[in-house]
Structure 1
Amino acid sequence: MTKTIFAKQLFLAVFLLTATSFNHLAIASSKLAEQISQDYSYLENLYQHLHRNPEISFQEKETAQRIAQELSKQGFDVTTGFGGHGVVGVLKNGSGPTIMIRTDLDALPIQEQTGLEYASVKSMKNRDGKDTFTMHACGHDIHMTVFTGVARRLVANKNQWSGTLLMIGQPAEERSGGAKAMLAEGLFTRFPRPDYNLAIHVSANLEAGTVGAVKGFAMANVDSVDIVVKGQGGHGAYPQNTKDPIVLSAQIIQSLQTIVSRETSPLEPAVVTVGSIHGGSQHNIISNEVKMQLTLRSYSDKVRKNTIAAIRRMTANLAKAAGLPDNLLPVVTVLDESTPAAYNNPVLTKKVIALFKQTFGDDKMIELTPEMVGEDFGRYGQVEPKIPSLMFRLGTVDSKTFKQFQQGKLRLPTLHSADFAPAPKPTIQTGVEAMTKAALMLFNQKK
């Protein structure tokens, strides 16, 4: 590490650890909430447009163009087509720290069933070339709208901060490729290197108007695994003359569950989920192969490696036990879509939590526990030297529905559900205020 980098890191460590009071500028002007309220009609129109026009991973062309336009209108120096359909906006406003704020752009291959007036009816070609309906079932439309609102507020209040604002529109979060691609293309060498990274993610089980955060590890390692189970097909009336890959697949699925229950310490988080299985074409035909898709979740590298090794061992040995030759053993492929565990810098997170409690009240700032979902935002903080990063959660459930949920009268749709429908106004306004104040605090910390 060079003396310059070491000195910068030492400064940042002292900068974070130094106790600071949140002065007037650090928490924004008393007019910020009023400004956000006045801007809401603009943001609502943007949100409904984004919700109606979702685009799945690696195909976010029109979405990226719209986000680029929003940044350009605010005076950012904008680069498009970066790391795929990525967007990078840079706004320099004097000397000071560089703050990165990131949003994701992509949607999911889900047919929306919310019944909203602005529901998506859009379809696209998926990774297999098949037509699929698309939906913002993970809240990325909220993320982009908040992102835009924050850019508008920080530009409108440029006299309250000094430094460089780096706004990132990232593609392909749902397939864990966007952050990796943007970093590989030189995000932190071609553009100002951040001193802090910030992002939000909606929550499907927090009340709108609340925010949440986890100190330390917040989201898990994620791996996508494909398994092709081979066999020797034939007529369903003569199973003795075949090697049935469907029966073998059933044995494999049952055995995989023991990786977590019998090969992983109960103190170590791990998940093995078979999300998709396809095989066969007709009632009376035993097929030649079955295809399965798995998602793996973990926090430690040891558990991740052990899980993958156990999958390879189990599939191969069960196939051998079924009498299949070596050339027909299952093929296990770990896709290049891995997501590392996301880590919230504890010192940064503690300071932001204190800010949010001061801003929204203790009852509106919820300290959360780690989850097994994945988010490739964590990659940005892992570059060397590491960058203090925080992704905080944003509540989306309207008050009436949330009360019924607390009373046990209904279940809430989860993220990635066809029924997921945030309450836009309180969610967006809270998100814009929270992120704007977090950025202002970091821009204005006392040295």
Structure 2
Amino acid sequence: MGTAQEITASISQQLPWQEELYKHFHRHPELGLAEHETSARICEELEDLGYETCLIGGTGIVGILRNGEGPVVLARADMDALPVAEDTGLEYSSTVPGAMHACGHDMHMATLLGAAKFLAGNRERWSGTYLALFQPAEETAAGAKAMVADGLVERIPKPDVALAQHVMPVEAGRIGTTAGPILSAGDSLRITVYGRGAHGSMPHNSVDPVVLASSIVLKLQTIVSRETRPGQFAVLTVGALNAGSAANIIPDRAQLLLNIRTYDLQLRQRVIDSIQRIVRGECAAAGSPKEPDFEFYDQFPLTSNDAAAN
């Protein structure tokens, strides 16, 4: 690839182009599976660099650069923004109300396009095939599934190694990686518990799902603090509790939204089992007239780096 000085000089020359791309993506965030303008801009940039491009999974993109015999390397970035209103005061702040690149995906796209540009401009220094994959809807796990369902595996050269990235709050210029588990498995869970509605003046006629859900939230905290062995990693977050619509009416149900993060699949299952045990137990103790409902969604598998690739 040349000397370190040559590589640094080549990268430095393209940094203004990358910075403008980053600011463009930050100004124009798009939510998962709606990254149409983002996708079009990425395709335009890749084609200008000499890449074959194909849309896969709606707004997903793979740019292919064939450069003779050699390994096939896939590098991946995500594209979607979050439903968050920006209030940073930056001169390149989001222009889309209620949407923002708050998780670094704007940086990921600019970085991957930067790698694509560097490799396209230095073909004499390497050989093989480079795949630049831009994944939509990472935040909901729907984008990767959509690309696979749309024939990703059959439509691109089989990679010998796949590389991903994520910005982290560490010192600039440093790269962190390790063999084995590095990014946790994630599970989101929607739980509906049932009560018996009544007027607020007659609580004795009710089974109050607000009190029930509140009790469940407190009891769930013991899964990590009292059921998980010290040194093991688990995070259980109750991100939302919704019930009722009036101050003087006891509703007939409540809904909780949970998020679980684990590195160990056996521990993950124990946490899930404990959640279901606690919820069912609290419902029984409250006299709930109906069994609770459990709905899993936005599930992400554990990211475990291959030791040889690392």
* Residue 262 (structure 1) aligned to one of 226, 230, 251: 226
Rounded to whole Å, the distance in 2 between the matches of 1:115 and 1:218 is 33
Rounded to whole Å, the distance in 2 between the matches of 1:217 and 1:166 is 24
Rounded to whole Å, the distance in 2 between the matches of 1:44 and 1:218 is 28
Helix, strand or coil for the counterpart of 2:108? helix
Rounded to whole Å, the distance in 2 between the matches of 1:245 and 1:65 is 47
Q: For structure 1, which segment, 87-96 or 178-187, has the greater mean C-alpha deviation from structure 2 after superposition?
A: 178-187
Q: Aligned residue for 2:61?
A: 87
**Identity level (%):** 44
* Residue 165 (structure 1) aligned to one of 118, 130, 133: 130
Q: Aligned residue for 2:105?
A: 140
Is the 1:28–1:160 contact (alpha carbons within 8 Å) kept by the matching residues of 2?
A: no
Helix, strand or coil for the counterpart of 1:152? helix
* Residue 53 (structure 2) aligned to one of 78, 82, 88: 78
Rounded to whole Å, the distance in 2 between the matches of 1:45 and 1:301 is 41
Helix, strand or coil for the counterpart of 2:76? strand
Rounded to whole Å, the distance in 1 between the matches of 2:14 and 2:164 is 21
* Residue 40 (structure 1) aligned to one of 1, 6, 15: 15
Is the 1:188–1:194 contact (alpha carbons within 8 Å) kept by the matching residues of 2?
A: no
Q: Aligned residue for 1:120?
A: 94
Deviation at 1:29, TM superposition (A): 5.9
1:346 aligns with 2:307: yes
Deviation at 1:185, TM superposition (A): 3.0
Kindly provide the amino acid, as one letter, of the partner of residue 299 in structure 1: Y
Rounded to whole Å, the distance in 1 between the matches of 2:88 and 2:167 is 17
1:104 aligns with 2:78: yes
Superposition pairs of residues 50-89 of structure 1, within 5 angstroms:
50-80=25-55, 82-89=56-63
* Residue 189 (structure 2) aligned to one of 222, 225, 234: 225
Deviation at 1:31, TM superposition (A): 2.2
Rounded to whole Å, the distance in 1 between the matches of 2:223 and 2:293 is 18
Rounded to whole Å, the distance in 1 between the matches of 2:266 and 2:14 is 48
Q: Aligned residue for 1:428?
A: none
Rounded to whole Å, the distance in 1 between the matches of 2:122 and 2:94 is 34
1:321-351, Cα deviation, whole Å (9 max, x unpaired)? 11122xx22211111x2111111223432xx
Deviation at 1:215, TM superposition (A): 2.8
Is the 1:97–1:164 contact (alpha carbons within 8 Å) kept by the matching residues of 2?
A: yes
Rounded to whole Å, the distance in 2 between the matches of 1:100 and 1:184 is 18
Q: Aligned residue for 2:292?
A: 330
Rounded to whole Å, the distance in 1 between the matches of 2:286 and 2:3 is 67
Deviation at 1:303, TM superposition (A): 1.6
Rounded to whole Å, the distance in 2 between the matches of 1:288 and 1:97 is 60
Q: Aligned residue for 2:217?
A: 253
Deviation at 1:60, TM superposition (A): 1.2
Rounded to whole Å, the distance in 2 between the matches of 1:228 and 1:88 is 40
Runs of 4+ aligned residues of structure 1 deviating over 4 Å after TM superposition are none
Deviation at 1:189, TM superposition (A): 2.4
Q: For structure 1, which segment, 226-235 or 96-105, has the greater mean C-alpha deviation from structure 2 after superposition?
A: 226-235
Helix, strand or coil for the counterpart of 2:170? strand
Helix, strand or coil for the counterpart of 2:32? coil
Q: Aligned residue for 2:165?
A: 200
Helix, strand or coil for the counterpart of 1:212? coil
Helix, strand or coil for the counterpart of 1:142? helix
Q: For structure 1, which segment, 339-348 or 66-75, has the greater mean C-alpha deviation from structure 2 after superposition?
A: 339-348
The higher-RCO structure (CA 8 Å, 6+ apart) is 1
* Residue 297 (structure 1) aligned to one of 253, 258, 261: 261
Deviation at 1:28, TM superposition (A): 5.5
Q: For structure 1, which segment, 49-58 or 302-311, has the greater mean C-alpha deviation from structure 2 after superposition?
A: 302-311
Q: Aligned residue for 2:236?
A: 272
TM-score normalized with structure 1 length: 0.67
Is the 1:111–1:121 contact (alpha carbons within 8 Å) kept by the matching residues of 2?
A: no
Deviation at 1:199, TM superposition (A): 1.9
Superposition pairs of residues 310-321 of structure 1, within 5 angstroms:
310-321=274-285
* Residue 119 (structure 2) aligned to one of 143, 146, 154: 154
Kindly provide the amino acid, as one letter, of the partner of residue 77 in structure 2: T
Q: Aligned residue for 1:434?
A: none
CA gap of 1:269–1:176, structure 2 versus 1, over 3 A, is same
Kindly provide the amino acid, as one letter, of the partner of residue 341 in structure 1: L
* Residue 281 (structure 1) aligned to one of 242, 245, 258: 245
CA gap of 1:29–1:214, structure 2 versus 1, over 3 A, is closer
Deviation at 1:196, TM superposition (A): 1.1
1:82-136, Cα deviation, whole Å (9 max, x unpaired)? 123110111110000000011100011111121101101303xxxxxxxxx0110
Kindly provide the amino acid, as one letter, of the partner of residue 282 in structure 2: L
Rounded to whole Å, the distance in 2 between the matches of 1:29 and 1:153 is 14
